[in-house]
Structure 1
Amino acid sequence: ETHRPQGKLKALAFCRNVTHARMMAEAMGEHYNTAYLTGRNDIGERIRAYNDLQSDRAQLEILFTVDILNEGVDIPGVNMVLFLRPTESSTVFIQQLGRGLRKYDNKHYVTVLDFIGNSYKRSVQIAFALSSLAENFVLEKRLMASLVRDNFSALGLADSGVEIHIDDLSKEEILRYIDQENFNSIVYLKKDYYNFKKYINSEFCPKHMDYLNNDCAPDIIRFMSVKTDGKKNYSYYNFLRGIDEEGLPTFLEEQVEFANYMSGFLPLVRTYEYEIVNCLLEGATNKETVINSLKERIFDYNDEAFLHAIEFFKYISENDNKLELRAKLDDQFKEYLCDLIEYGITRYKVDNGEETGFKLWQNYRMDQVQLSLLKNPGYNALGTYYYDDYVVIFASLKKDLPEEDKLNYKDKFLQSNLFQWESMANLPMSDLSKLERSSFAHLFIRKVSIENGIVLPFTYVGKGTLSNCRKTDGENGTYLFDIKMENELPAYLQYDFGLIKQ
């Protein structure tokens, strides 16, 4: 009653099992109008209960449920959520929490009462859920730990009237858990996979597109990035094979290698490669036919990008104006590829719309940057690249080093729009001249290189101009530059990159 919203109470309560739901409905029925739903209720009974809960004219105030609301039913009128059961699934937890977060007329907020709050695992789930609200969130321990220590203030949720307070004991438990656990381990991701499979009620393994069509889907690219039995998966198929998923089609190893190669483009920074393969799978072979098709599919099509894609795509050969896909195809493998291609292109359109070029604050791998610039994507072993009148700089902040070791590294933000950058050692004078004469620099930043065996991407922080060149005192021939950025870092990145101290 202390937390009861104004107007009619419309509460969803998540219970452990059928017996628990029935007992809670009976006990709370002495004070409220209650009902409970289980998998035994038919669709008609469920819909009537959902409508009665939302209706201001019906008497139902609290609806106790067991799992069935994980089927995608939307009840936006809910103004209170009660957690009466623990769950090991972050996917299900976030989905249940989201039941109360839907917008609805005259609904200004939702009240969440968590009766499992004394469990540190639940506290960790909440930390996961809230951390994922950060823009372009990458699961990275130091970011999560920083957010927890500061009660997630860097996310700016207070601007929306949301305040989060975690007691010191829970913080200590959460931080210890974050430090000890490998969230990219196959144990965690296998659990995420099977929870999601159960959530969408799929008898067979979910397709790539299923991960786009459900709000609470895990990121399928994480499944591709992790290692199984000491080897990186590279593709969704290898992940499924690594966890011994049943009912998988059997692909030839050369088909698996092609699936790995295609998956390596994800998330796409352009759609040319996928659209070209799409055309070839549809039967097109003539180069001009493919080009004409791409002009219809890619709104900003240009020949230079097309020729670049053909030049560097390992599995396409060109002869007498004919394009050929050098991959063994059968019906099952084509079905897998079509699903993968649809996923890649659809996700690209969702993420980018009709925008071109690098997106501020977006994450990129080195090979993706080179691909976007129409350069050799395999040329990605250096930290600085010189092109025409501009340079591309990749800088690591070394946040994973002890404080005393960090002092040996000069790369850091001095202000929200000013970055201090140290060149490579023994810099040739010709390269120094290119830096000094450059019109601008594309700057990509990351805090740490590798975490739990996963190579982390860089964040694009925009264009900047190099100035104030000075030689360092050391004997390694490095130079310091100040890079004046065109855009100021948003608050959450100032926090993440260490400009705002904890």
Structure 2
Amino acid sequence: IFTVDIFNEGVDIPEINQVLLVRPTESPIIFIQQLGRGLRKFKNKDFVVILDFIGNYNNNYMIPLALSGDRSYDKDRLRRYLMEGNKIIPGVSSINFDEISKKKIYESINNASFSKIALFKEKYKNLKFKLGRIPLLCDFYENADFNPELILAHNKFDCYHSFLSYVDDDYNGELSDEETASLKFISKKLLKGIRPHEAIILNCLKFNKYFTIEMIEKCLSEIYGLENQKDSINGAINFLSLNFYRKEKGEGYQANTVKGFVGDAIPYENIFFDDDFKISDYFRNCLANPTYLKHFEDAIKYSLLKYKDIFHDENPFKLYEKYSREEVLRLLNWKYFMNGQNIGGYKIKYNTCPIFVTYNKAEDISQTINYDDHFINKETFYWMSRDNRKTSSAELEPLINYNGLDVELFIQKNNDEGIEFYYIGKLTPLKYKQLYRNIDGKEKPIVNFTFEINTPVKDELYDYFTNDFEE
């Protein structure tokens, strides 16, 4: 039996054991309905055959999207569903993917584009219809319908105000260029919610027009149970005053599109516990605009919700969450920003050493940076220094003569995952060895380190990194 537009919603024929896909769809709901026509149990029916004539398999990221019920279009959530499906799928259902299927779905997730403005418009209009009003960022989050950070990551939209002005004629908010720049900074840097310190400081400035470190410490302790936070508060002040983006010996860059939120910013090393920090005239003027104030409050609320639900931890980093290099430097309370090219795979500074590893190197990678970094097991990691380094190199002295250096490991599977890395945990050096590699016919020195991973890597993530999903 072959039908067109007849076996639709409400039709239940358990005997169906073969489904032909002959029309394309990018809707996970329709996709799972199409598959579902053949997924009913029936006597002597062990499986269903899917014949895909239209190439829907190219969109097989829709499988975890549909089965999980997660409509956020967040790639990391989809990857986690593949890793941990049986642990997080609701009810008594279970799902298993063979290794080849996993590989294909991971590839589909990596290659999928969830930054289409048409998708943004569709999700926005659906939520607006549901709420009966213009949705805020927090409405997206609380309805779990779509990840609005995808909208704000699009280079067409500086902030949510820019998006609303573009898609909705009912929206009539107005912002100056300075106010837009301020919201852009908050949207791009704080919305993710990696820590609450900046958001709490900004709220204090909004309500009180000033704050002290003591006030912020009290809020962090009472609301989030965070103690001994002075260094992180200093780091947040350094960030919000934009001192973080000042140049140091040619490193970093000057942020010239937005002004600081903290007035008369004090140099990082001169901050004291009882210092008063006043609101900047720039920030005070922005808050006077009701449109700015509404979007500011929405963004800060969103950031704190994200922190509470996802990133909350007694440590600066949450195990197995993802961070960019810039976010890592912020959370380590570095005084100055350093671009990714200058950091490379690692940088030892301020008694910290963040290590960034791309586990599966690109096939065309230069020999000089094709390092053999890998897990020995779930508790041990094999890592190589930069090229042309010896055990006598001053750069490596803090690792070789280890004495409390804060070594943090971040890994991404491959370059398809973008600029973010999974946080694997703290490392302790166990041993090191001088090695030599043949690069373009010359013996180049390099130092190998074996690290203990202080918290053994969880099974799902370990398998994700170490399994190439080869046939």
Query: For the superposition of Structure 1 and Structure 2, which TM-score range results when normalised by the shorter chain?
Result: 0.5 to 0.7
Q: Which residue identity lines up with residue 65 of structure 2 in the other structure?
A: A
Deviation at 1:498, TM superposition (A): 2.5
Task: Count residues in correspondence.
Answer: 395
Q: 2:453 aligns with which of 465, 476, 485?
A: 485
1:364 paired with 2:299, answer no
Q: Which residue identity lines up with residue 418 of structure 1 in the other structure?
A: T
Structure-2 separation of matches of 1:351 and 1:255? 29
1:318 match: 263
Q: Secondary structure at the match of 1:469?
A: strand
Q: Secondary structure at the match of 1:472?
A: strand
Structure-1 separation of matches of 2:32 and 2:104? 17
Q: Once superposed, what is the RMSD of the aligned Cα atoms?
A: 4.8
Deviation at 1:117, TM superposition (A): 8.3
1:221 match: 149
Q: Report the identity percentage.
A: 20
1:422 match: 384
Q: Give TM-score, length-normalised by structure 1.
A: 0.64
2:84 match: 155
**C-alpha contact 1:447 1:497 (8 A) present in aligned 2:** yes
Deviation at 1:335, TM superposition (A): 0.7
Structure-2 separation of matches of 1:167 and 1:472? 36
Structure-2 separation of matches of 1:357 and 1:140? 20
Render the CA deviation track for 1:446-488: whole Å, top value 9, x for unaligned.
Answer: 123455xxx3311111122222322232444432222221233
Q: 1:254 aligns with which of 159, 178, 188?
A: 178
* Structure 1 spans left out of the alignment, 5+ residues: 1-15, 32-84, 98-112
Aligned in 2, Cα 1:186/1:311: closer, same or farther, shift over 3 Å?
A: same
**C-alpha contact 2:198 2:236 (8 A) present in aligned 1:** yes
Deviation at 1:175, TM superposition (A): 6.4
Q: 1:456 aligns with which of 396, 419, 423?
A: 419
Q: Secondary structure at the match of 2:355?
A: strand
Render the CA deviation track for 1:378-400: whole Å, top value 9, x for unaligned.
Answer: 13530323256653211222444
Structure-1 separation of matches of 2:433 and 2:235? 35
Structure-2 separation of matches of 1:95 and 1:273? 44
**C-alpha contact 1:400 1:447 (8 A) present in aligned 2:** no
**What are the within-5 Å matches in structure 2 for residues 17-36 of structure 1?**
none
Render the CA deviation track for 1:151-192: whole Å, top value 9, x for unaligned.
Answer: x5x536299762446899xx69976993995414425xx315
Structure-2 separation of matches of 1:94 and 1:321? 57
Q: Which residue identity lines up with residue 448 of structure 1 in the other structure?
A: N
2:257 match: none
Structure-2 separation of matches of 1:488 and 1:133? 30
Q: Secondary structure at the match of 2:316?
A: coil
Aligned in 2, Cα 1:291/1:352: closer, same or farther, shift over 3 Å?
A: closer
Deviation at 1:272, TM superposition (A): 1.5
Aligned in 2, Cα 1:384/1:406: closer, same or farther, shift over 3 Å?
A: closer
1:435 paired with 2:374, answer no
2:160 match: 236
**What are the within-5 Å matches in structure 2 for residues 1-150 of structure 1?**
88-90=26-28, 120-121=55-56, 124=60, 126-129=62-65, 139=75
Q: Which residue identity lines up with residue 278 of structure 1 in the other structure?
A: N
Aligned in 2, Cα 1:436/1:165: closer, same or farther, shift over 3 Å?
A: closer
**C-alpha contact 2:158 2:184 (8 A) present in aligned 1:** yes
Structure-2 separation of matches of 1:260 and 1:176? 31
Structure-2 separation of matches of 1:436 and 1:270? 32
**C-alpha contact 2:311 2:321 (8 A) present in aligned 1:** no
2:141 match: 212
Q: Secondary structure at the match of 1:386?
A: coil
Aligned in 2, Cα 1:179/1:447: closer, same or farther, shift over 3 Å?
A: closer
Deviation at 1:347, TM superposition (A): 1.6
Q: Secondary structure at the match of 1:212?
A: helix
Q: Give TM-score, length-normalised by structure 2.
A: 0.67
**C-alpha contact 1:286 1:321 (8 A) present in aligned 2:** yes
1:306 match: 233
Structure-1 separation of matches of 2:230 and 2:153? 32
Bigger relative contact order (CA 8 A; separation at least 6): 2
1:446 paired with 2:374, answer no
Structure-1 separation of matches of 2:186 and 2:29? 27
1:194 paired with 2:122, answer yes
Structure-2 separation of matches of 1:322 and 1:165? 54
Q: Which residue identity lines up with residue 275 of structure 1 in the other structure?
A: I
Deviation at 1:334, TM superposition (A): 0.1
